[in-house]
Amino acid sequence: MQQAATDAARLPKGFTAPPIPRRNPARKPDWLVAYLFLAPAAAVFAAFIAYPLVDGILTSFTDQMVGKAGAYVGLANFTRLLGDAHFQRAAANSLFLTTGVVAVKLVLGLACAVLLAQKMPARGLIRALVFLPWAVPGLIAGLSWKWIFDEQAGVLSYLVMALGITDQPVYWLSDPRIAMLSIGVAMVWHGLPFFTMMFLAALTAIPGDLTEAAAIDGAGPIQRFFKVTLPQMKEVIFVTVMLSAIWTFNSFHMVFILTGGGPAMRTHILPTLAYDYGITQSQLGLGAAVLVSVIPVFVVLIVLLTRRMLASKN
Amino acid sequence: MVKSSSEKIIGRIVTTIGVLLALLWSLAPIYWIVVTALKTSREIYAVPPTLLPARPTLANFNTALFNSKFPQFVLNSATVAISVTLISAVVGALAAYPIARMEFKGRGVTARAIVMAYLLPPSLLFIPLFLVLQNLGLINTKTGLVIAYLTFTVPFCTWMLIGYFRTIPRELDEAATVDGATRLQTLLRVVLPIAKPGLAVVALFAFTHAWNEFLYALVFVHSNDTKTFTAGLTGLIMGDTFIWGQLMASSVIAIVPILIIYIVAQRYIVEGLAAGSVKG
């Protein structure tokens, strides 16, 4: 300000300063700047997301192996998968695990969120401890449960026998029927805190006067929860369930570490089967076909979720 | 609020039991990792298992730290995770700003592409990315792994930062523009300083993701000077016998950096999670 005043005093009489331009005319147009800013992200997207995705789809129509170029084989990989018992089993396992684990996490997550929203001593510390599994790397969560489920020296086998529930060792990870449940338990353990955190954040954002009014009208706590609280959490529940469905479907590490898809390939989920075919057995074309076969499911999930997430941000 | 006293007492009992169960469920497996790491190999296989180590020992940590390749793996993880964090924070901030603030053709499509890229699971991309990295000669290099992680962290950081930038009053950067600042100056000197807490959370998430990631590490790197600790530990379990003491000690060491981050930033992380996927 000071500087401007003295400058004006030095100017010759009769001089009128040109109006200050709101935008520097020499500056690049805004849209060009926007594209420049977006360029690095767009490069990553084009080269390492979009291109590989297209390349993967094309590969699924070839018999490409690791270290050997493939030839076009049409739908051969897909027709082979349709008649493949391992593929059918893996698809069923994926469906069973994803829906089961997400449903359990939804119910327990709501319960935990309601619980942790109550007034109690050391609430902050208790919340942090309940959230702790979320901070454990997935691989280590898997290792920890593999050790718990260990059939010779694992603590769970001992507990079950010591409590007299059974006098036979339980094959937590080598009996395929039990193994799927064991994998599910480990997945719930690792994924539950995300649900609890999301629901707790939503719960604390609900104004208290509504539930209070319902209480005055004589609604019991259970009725209040289902009639007043839950409807207000609809949006958060939708987004959390969809995100978790994608991630749970994607829990490669749990299956890979706990059972490796065995025994006899009966506990594979689609991503681990794709790894087995594509990387372990070097049949990249067939592995890619396994992945391509789940794209339609993801397109539906992702389109639905994208719409909601964009809407919530605008 | 009217509540009968019996309702209150029942409520308190249910809450207490519930909290104890939740704590037991969440902490028991973590406790078991730590206790196992502190036991001698003979005690690890003892029947019945001991709840507390009878003769606590640091031998497993000693082996993991000084008698194995594990420190090298941790160093590789750190190099990769820090590079990923820095690159994705810069690229993400640059991309988020125009979407949050500027008018240009294709803004809606860009925003949609970012969310979709963020939602795309790595298990869908690992075989095609393997092919691309192979063609570029980047299989079994840290650079290749960094690139692979950027496919997740860049869309994620961009998406989160759009949300943070939108919470900053528009008048602030409009004032800067009127004063003649370029868009880049506005971003660097006005928007980013205000968005610092958001930027920190986003960076922490990117770091955590790169540190914890397993599938890409398993597929894309395989030698001692490139393997991250996740791939390295998998090497230990792929043998016929599991060295549980050493595995658990290594796990404890690998959790420590994440735990420190988590304790320091716990409150922001919860807020950040809520901000990232739903309106807070």
CB of A258 within 8 Å of any CB in chain B?
A: no
In this predicted model, which residue has the larger pLDDT, B270 or A59? A59
CA atoms within 13 A on the CB side of A290: 27
Give the one of B121, B130, B178 whose C-beta lies nearest to A22's C-beta. Answer: B178
Say if the Cβ atoms of B230 and A284 lie within 8 Å: no
- Tell me, yes or no, whether B20 and B100 share the same domain: no
User: Is the Cβ–Cβ distance between B151 and B117 less than 8 Å?
Assistant: yes
Shortest Cα distance, chain A CAs vs residue B229, angstroms: 10
- pLDDT tens, residue by residue, A287-301: 999 999 999 888 888
Query: Residues with Cβ < 8 Å from A37, sequence gap 6 or more?
Result: B94, B95, B97, B98, B183
Q: What is the mean pLDDT of residues A75-96?
A: 95
- Tell me, yes or no, whether B50 and B22 share the same domain: yes
Give Cα separations from B120 to A293, B73, B116 (angstroms): 15, 28, 6
Residue B155 belongs to domain with CATH number: 1.10.3720.10
In whole angstroms, what separates CA B264 from the centre of its chain? 14
pLDDT at B220 over 70: yes
Query: ipTM > 0.85?
Result: yes
Say if the Cβ atoms of A133 and B18 lie within 8 Å: no
Across A19-33, A38-52, A66-80, A142-156, which has the greatest mean pLDDT?
Answer: A38-52
pLDDT at B94 over 90: yes
Q: Tell me what pLDDT residue A228 has.
A: 85
Residues of chain A contacting B50 with CB distance shorter than 8 Å: none
User: Is the Cβ–Cβ distance between A122 and A135 less than 8 Å?
Assistant: no
Structural tokens at position B217:
């590490």
Q: What is the mean pLDDT of residues B23-42?
A: 94
Q: Tell me what pLDDT residue B153 has.
A: 95
Q: What is the mean pLDDT of residues A249-270?
A: 92
Give the one of B151, B178, B230 whose C-beta lies nearest to A137's C-beta. Answer: B230
Q: Tell me what pLDDT residue A308 has.
A: 84
Nearest CA in chain A to B157: A41
CA atoms within 13 A on the CB side of A234: 5
Q: Helix or strand or coil: residue A72?
A: strand
Shortest Cα distance, chain B CAs vs residue A253, angstroms: 7
The torsion defined by the Cα of B173, B176, B182 and B183, in degrees rounded to 10, comes to 0
- Tell me, yes or no, whether B119 and B213 share the same domain: yes
Q: Tell me what pLDDT residue A24 has.
A: 52
pTM over 0.95: no
The torsion defined by the Cα of B111, B113, B114 and B119, in degrees rounded to 10, comes to 130
pLDDT at B277 over 50: no
User: Is the Cβ–Cβ distance between B38 and B53 less than 8 Å?
Assistant: yes
Query: Residues with Cβ < 8 Å from A139, sequence gap 6 or more?
Result: A253, A257, B212, B214, B230, B233, B234
Q: Domain ranges for chain A, please list them.
A: 85-313
- Tell me, yes or no, whether B109 and B237 share the same domain: yes
Q: Tell me what pLDDT residue B241 has.
A: 65
User: Is the Cβ–Cβ distance between A143 and B37 less than 8 Å?
Assistant: no
Tell me phi and psi for residue A65, to 5 degrees: -115, 165
Across A13-17, A206-210, B34-38, which has the greatest mean pLDDT?
Answer: B34-38
- Tell me, yes or no, whether B238 and B146 share the same domain: yes
CATH architecture for the domain at A85-313: Orthogonal Bundle (1.10)
Least confidently predicted of A51-55, A169-173, B71-75: A169-173
Q: What is the mean pLDDT of residues A25-35?
A: 78
Structural tokens at position B266:
């716990």
Task: Look over chain B and give the mean of its residue pLDDT values, rounded to a whole number.
Answer: 88
User: Is the Cβ–Cβ distance between B116 and B234 less than 8 Å?
Assistant: no
Q: What is the mean pLDDT of residues B208-221?
A: 93
Token look-up 């003649």 returns B180
pLDDT at A97 over 50: yes
**Residue span of the structural domain in which B53 resides:** 5-60
Least confidently predicted of A126-130, A216-220, B139-143: A216-220
In whole angstroms, what separates CA A11 from the centre of its chain? 66
- pLDDT tens, residue by residue, B166-203: 888 888 888 888 888 888 999 998 888 888 888 888 89
Number of domains in chain B: 2
Shortest Cα distance, chain A CAs vs residue B91, angstroms: 6
Shortest Cα distance, chain A CAs vs residue B154, angstroms: 7
Q: What is the mean pLDDT of residues B78-104?
A: 95
Residues of chain B contacting A126 with CB distance shorter than 8 Å: 19, 23
Q: Is B23 exposed, middle or buried (0-12, 13-18, 19+ CB in 10 A)?
A: middle
Q: Tell me what pLDDT residue B67 has.
A: 86
User: Is the Cβ–Cβ distance between B57 and B39 less than 8 Å?
Assistant: yes
Q: Tell me what pLDDT residue A270 has.
A: 95
Q: What is the mean pLDDT of residues B243-259?
A: 90
Say if the Cβ atoms of A201 and B280 lie within 8 Å: yes
pLDDT at A10 over 60: no
Q: What is the mean pLDDT of residues B211-226?
A: 93
Q: Tell me what pLDDT residue B193 has.
A: 87
CA A42, CA A30: separation in Å to the nearest integer? 18
Give the one of B48, B104, B258 whose C-beta lies nearest to A135's C-beta. Answer: B258
Q: Tell me what pLDDT residue B127 has.
A: 93
Q: Helix or strand or coil: residue A62?
A: strand
- Tell me, yes or no, whether B259 and B144 share the same domain: yes
pLDDT at B32 over 60: yes
Structural tokens at position B54:
């009878």
Q: What is the mean pLDDT of residues A223-240?
A: 88
Say if the Cβ atoms of B127 and A278 lie within 8 Å: yes
User: Is the Cβ–Cβ distance between B140 and B72 less than 8 Å?
Assistant: no
Residues of chain A contacting B98 with CB distance shorter than 8 Å: 33-34, 37-38
Token look-up 């890409």 returns B216
The torsion defined by the Cα of A199, A200, A202 and A207, in degrees rounded to 10, comes to 140
Q: What is the mean pLDDT of residues B10-24?
A: 93
Q: Which amino acid is at B92?
A: G
Shortest Cα distance, chain B CAs vs residue A11, angstroms: 22
Q: Tell me what pLDDT residue A5 has.
A: 44
Q: What is the mean pLDDT of residues A248-256?
A: 92
